[in-house]
Amino acid sequence: MSDDAAGLPIPKDALAALPPLREVIARHGLAAKKSLGQNFLLDGNLLDRIARVPGSLAGATVYEVGPGPGGLTRALLRAGANVVAVERDDRALPALAELAEAAPGRLSVLGGDALKQDEAALLPPGTHVVANLPYNIGTALFVRWLTTDAWPPWWATLTLMFQKEVAQRIVAAPDTSAYGRLSVLAQWRTLPKIALDVPRQAFTPPPSITSSVVHVRPVAAPTGVSVRTLETLTAAAFGQRRKMLRASLRGLAGGPEALERCGIDAARRAETLSVAEFVEVARSLDASR
């Protein structure tokens, strides 16, 4: 506490007074574990930049997967967010408890596996997701969040760190080598953008490649298409991406007929179909069942 001119106590900014992250890591023995995808971000300016990607977070609820020593969590709290975080590494929980003390009532931390959470039950609608995801589960979580039956989904925006190559697949256009199932599932009903690249040297320890922060907003969904059909269709089409659709969709009941109904040449390859064409074929498959 310090005193202002009128002699009233002013609460010291407990977040600003926290010890450096390196000290937290050393004191709590948080040596990075590869098996948990641990590559920590320690630069406060970079972390503040990431926390600004979704826009103003003042008063918003943010879901963070994998806070680790809490660098990004600190930035989210500095941005005025209320944070719900899930962390699998028990070693990080005491460090996160200290952070929760510095931001009373604004941080709750669950110990456990993010893949096992029921986010729609855990979080209020309109929650923003911001996370430096562990690479080993990043794509699985992302696909799960993209393919919720309810739309608009429980989340308002996703701001997620991926390997740059995965980020490029998410935003890829047709007729490029990066375009695939992930591009269609992402772009079908969201607007994904690469917000910034993060060099490998920014992480402790540095991973082998560059990373990118992807920002995703939901947009209105085209009607009459089931998520599962689009998933099955894109899995079949891109499962053999070098082949013509006539061959790659042979094993998908009604697939070749749906192509024909949509006037799509079966000699084309999956990577030439636009997202809208995939949606049209999925809609035709649904209608015929």
Interface segment toward ligand SAM; rule CB under 6 A; list 74-82, 86-94, 176-184, 224-232: 86-94
Q: Which one of 39, 157, 163, 187 is in contact with ligand SAM (CB under 6 A)?
A: 39
Q: Determine the straight-line distance between the first and last CA of the chain, rounded to whole angstroms.
A: 68
Q: Which one of 53, 54, 62, 67 is in contact with ligand SAM (CB under 6 A)?
A: 67
Examine residue 159 and tell whether it contacts ligand SAM (CB under 6 A).
no
Considering the complex, state which of residue 204 and residue 226 has its C-beta at the smaller distance from ligand SAM: 204
CB of 199 to ligand SAM, least distance (A): 14
Beta bridge partners of 130: 159
Beta bridge partners of 191: 217
Q: Which residues contact 231 (CB under 8 A, 6 or more apart)?
A: 147, 185
Q: Which one of 18, 38, 130, 225 is in contact with ligand SAM (CB under 6 A)?
A: 38
Examine residue 276 and tell whether it contacts ligand SAM (CB under 6 A).
no
Pairing of β 155-163 and β 127-131: parallel
CB of 68 to ligand SAM, least distance (A): 3
Considering the complex, state which of residue 99 and residue 275 has its C-beta at the smaller distance from ligand SAM: 99
Q: Which one of 15, 36, 194, 227 is in contact with ligand SAM (CB under 6 A)?
A: 36
Q: Which one of 25, 40, 128, 195 is in contact with ligand SAM (CB under 6 A)?
A: 40
Considering the complex, state which of residue 37 and residue 180 has its C-beta at the smaller distance from ligand SAM: 37
Interface segment toward ligand SAM; rule CB under 6 A; list 75-83, 84-92, 180-188, 225-233: 84-92
Considering the complex, state which of residue 65 and residue 285 has its C-beta at the smaller distance from ligand SAM: 65
Q: Which residues contact 198 (CB under 8 A, 6 or more apart)?
A: 41, 46, 161, 210, 211, 212, 213
Report how far residue 181's alpha carbon sits from residue 191's, in angstroms, rounded to the nearest whole number: 15
Q: Is the dihedral of CA 67, 70, 76, 81 positive or negative?
A: positive
Tokens of 209: 């490649």
Examine residue 180 and tell whether it contacts ligand SAM (CB under 6 A).
no
Report the residue number whose CB is nearest to ligand SAM: 66
Q: Which one of 25, 41, 95, 99 is in contact with ligand SAM (CB under 6 A)?
A: 41
Per CB under 6 A, residues contacting ligand SAM are: 36-41, 65-68, 71-72, 86-89, 92, 113-115, 132, 134, 137
